[in-house]
Chains A and B, each alone.
Chain A
Amino acid sequence: MTVILYQQGFNPYQILQDYESAQLKAPEKIGATSIFIGTMRDFNEGSNVTGMTLEYYPGMTEKQLEKILQDAHSRWAIEDSLIVHRVGDILPKDPIVLVAVWSSHRGDAFDASRFIMEALKSTAPFWKKEHLNSTESRWVSHNTNGYQLKTP
């Protein structure tokens, strides 16, 4: 169970490779790895977005992310888990979040990673301020429920 916050850009694929070779718990038991990577779009709610600033609550953000991983480990049979999240100034195409779950079986890996991502979206103290151009910016008001079906 590991939580990492990055002030600068990160390469999720490099982090996964390094984590698996140096830190991964019980690698011989792993039969399924589920990975989610969230990246920044250049549009939101009908506007072009040129960048954003991610504010967080030092201490509480890490504490809540660790709690989410503990919850996931108590609910599913998983061997290890990782959350990496950006803070600070972010540009379109930059990775924002990486969630990885290692398990013996795919069901636990898939379901735990989805749970972690949705719990992060609704409870981890991060706040996005979108920059629309050089002078205009706006706070994102809330996250949507990822389980809700999109209507066309």
Chain B
Amino acid sequence: MTINVHYFASLKEHIGRSKNELPYTSPLTVREVWEQSNPDILIPNNVLVAVNMDYVDWDHLVEDQDEVAFFPPVTGG
């Protein structure tokens, strides 16, 4: 019963780790996933969020075993 949380690029450096696990007890939004994972860090502007490798909005409900990822605006190409 866990949610796997990942961070990338400048955001990973900002919060000081690349991932954490969160115990899953009841449905929660990705915003709550951030708040429980990083209680002392406000969500920086422009952060994007994906669940199971698809973009979602901040009210998206996360389920058990989901992979949640937070990252800054993308800069490929």
A145 to chain B, nearest CB (A): 12
- Do B77 and A123 touch (CB < 8 A)? no
CB–CB B77/A96 < 8 A: yes
Instruction: Find residues 41-62 in chain A having any chain B CB closer than 8 Å to their own CB.
Output: 54-57, 59-60
Q: Out of A59, A60, A141, A143, name the residue touching B77 (CB < 8 Å).
A: A143
- Residues of B contacting A124 in the complex (Cβ-Cβ under 8 angstroms): 74, 76-77
A121 and B76 in contact, given A60-B53, A127-B9 (Cβ under 8 angstroms)? yes
Which residues of B (23-74) have their CB < 8 Å from a CB of A? 46, 50, 53-55, 69, 71-74
A115 within 8 A of B: no
A19, CB-defined interface residue at 8 Å: no
Q: Is B2 an interface residue (CB 8 A)?
A: no
Contacts of B8 in A (CB 8 A): 55, 57, 125, 127
Are A122 and B9 closer than 8 Å at their CB atoms?
Answer: no
- Which 7 residue pairs are nearest across A and B when measured between Cβ atoms? A126-B76, A127-B9, A60-B53, A140-B75, A139-B10, A142-B73, A121-B77
Chain B nearest CB, measured from A97 CB (Å): 5
Cα(A18)–Cα(B69), bound, Å: 36
CA of A140 to CA of B72, assembled, Å: 10
On chain B, the residues within 8 Å of A131 by CB distance are none
CB <8 Å contact, B53 and A127: no
With A and B bound together, what is the CA distance between A123 and B55 in angstroms? 9
Complex Cα–Cα for A127 and B10 (A): 9
Chain B residue at smallest Cβ distance from A140: B75
